[in-house]
Chain A
Amino acid sequence: MLSRRDFLKLVIKGAIMGNFCELIAPSLAQSVVAGEVKKLPVVMIETGTCTGDSISLDNIWTPTFSDILSNIVDWRYDWSMMQTQGASAYKVLQETYEKMPNEYILIVQGSMIQRDNGHYNHVVFDNGKLITGLELVRRMGLKAKYVVAIGSCATFGGPVAGYPNPTQATGVQNILPERRVINVSGCPAHPDWIMGTLLHLALYGEPELEKFGRPKLFYAETVHNRCPRRRDYDQGIFATDIGQKQCLFRVGCKGPVTYADCPIRRWNDHLNWPIGCNTPCIGCTEPGYPDLMSPFTAHLPDIPFPGGTKVSTDAIGLGVLGLTSVALVGHAATALYNGRLQKNLLKASVKAPNRPSVKKVKTIHQYKLKKNMK
């Protein structure tokens, strides 16, 4: 069996080579055969979702989803795939809950809809009673070995929780405070992120998580830091409209505040990704998505929050919006101070004396100057 250190190496290697799961899956399949690891029992509950994460997971390149079903995962309950329907489908869920406590992994896809006690979203029919998504996720979640939230909706509320949030949607962690929820965010989440997290759970248990509960394996670096157009940014060469080949920072790219490994992992056959498609990153893995990232295709500080000046109800949201703007502007300002942007942007030739060093602040996504340095 792989050691944890080997696993982490494979994550990086796999991201670059584009075959992460192929590298890791055979050893897992061997482990399953050898009896070291059991086939993972997984139940998937869909709540307020577009089912995009299921589709994204079907798109996994290596191993194929067929391999995963046959060799790695015991995909017990998933209403978009099960052969039976109605009561006999629900029975599977109920049996898993009763006979395999602390053994199954609960995957939640979709936001938790809270308005009117969750009655805007029903998911199963139990003895003449409709059960809300909220209730089912809480019931299943308390007895699961791990709870994994996939997609932006399940992790932080996502597009369903966009202003004015008509259904009071929120992420799974908020309705399940007793437990740690592993957040695999993204709109949709990359199949490698979902499968990699599940494989880590199968082989070594819980992966190391960052402050928003996302596995550091995949969410440790900003898109901006690994972006192939970073050179353009550093030299101040900016696109003036979407569809151009330069750095898209000025047309709304949220790469500097977005933590994900899209630039090296890429999507669908590891072929392309949003910035590769000459469109800005819209920050879909971040807790602030989509409101703090709107408008997607315009530079953030220029345009106010949806709802215009009447946003009295969302003062807090505005505050955070301010932070995101400050983070983006701050980042540009820092780059200016560093002398990286000045060549083209300011057309100045004077180098700043005593370059201030930059440190990353942990609590908000922002670069800040150290105070006591000039």
Chain B
Amino acid sequence: MTTPRPWRRHAGWLWLSLMSFTTLLILITYETRWVYPEIHAYFSQTGNLTGQQLATRSRDYLQEGLGVLLEAPDDEAAREQAAFRVDLAYSLFDIGLYRREYACTEPSLDSLDGLSRRLSAGDVLTPAELNRHLLGPIGCLTEIEMDQLDRRSEVTSAFVEDTRRHQGVVLGGSLVIFLMGLVFWWMHERQRRNAVRATRESLRWMGRALRDPLTGVGNRSALHEDVMAQTGQAMSLMLIDIDYFKQYNDTLGHPDGDRLLRRLALLIDESLAGQARLYRMGGDEFAALLPCHDGCGLARRCEEITERLREAAIAHPGHPENRCVTLSIGAACFIAGEAGFAAGYAAADRALYRVKEHGRNGWEASEGEDAQANRVDANQA
């Protein structure tokens, strides 16, 4: 089973947040692109011909026809024009909706039909006859207009109310979605920060795992990692052992032993002028890793450490052969890498072994074919 990657663990909140904001955007787009044009379409015909009621237009034509007939009742051309307008009025009056819902429509259309026939026949109509033919239809059309206006007002009011309610719902919905988006984003941000904190914590612990807590220098794992990080590079390794450290602890106590370890770590680091990385390999053993450019100069470095220690003259009451603390150092060069490191470590260890075999308090450095050594005579101390 594989564990999800950190970014995947908190990507869910991010997606939810992005989806919320996207939904909000879609909602706004929908409102803008579809709902508002619908409102526009509903009211946009106000003021033009198609925005007028058919009944209004029909009544206008009847009034025009009536005006023509009253002005020149005996003129044949006027009668033709009046008949034309009556036919137009008829066509706009003869609507299924009007027939179905207004009882006055049928008799009015019959009346207009009779008027049209008489005009076509060339009859000259008196004002009383015009009254009889047109008053009913005009009254009917007026009734239709008024009723349709009332209905339209009701529909408009309902539409406005619906729109207001719709806008309220959309506004509320938008607010909820927006808040959800913010909450999801906050959750995502919180998880991200937790993940960053956890990563930092892990790195800190990993760093601690590679450090010796007593002296602050690296440990064996750190040495291995550092060597592997320099694969292919020429390097040198010094293994430094404190002579008779057990006796030091037995004589002065472990707290003093710990202090000695810290002091020696500092001393070795200063002796190598900060050019080496220092590691604590075990109870009384240090290792120093150095780059090895143009010959390692290992002998000189071993000598520097020994000299500095001698100058420090750290008292060692439990030392069977000396009054001060002494070191045994084995050093070797190698090419960084798994095999090279193993070989270098073994060579340095052999050198250290030989130093110890010859009475400790000395060093041996192996650089390729050459091997140099210096062992301090116990009587010198």
Q: Do A and B come from one complex?
A: no
- Give residues in B with beta carbon < 8 Å to A: none
- Give residues in A with beta carbon < 8 Å to B: none
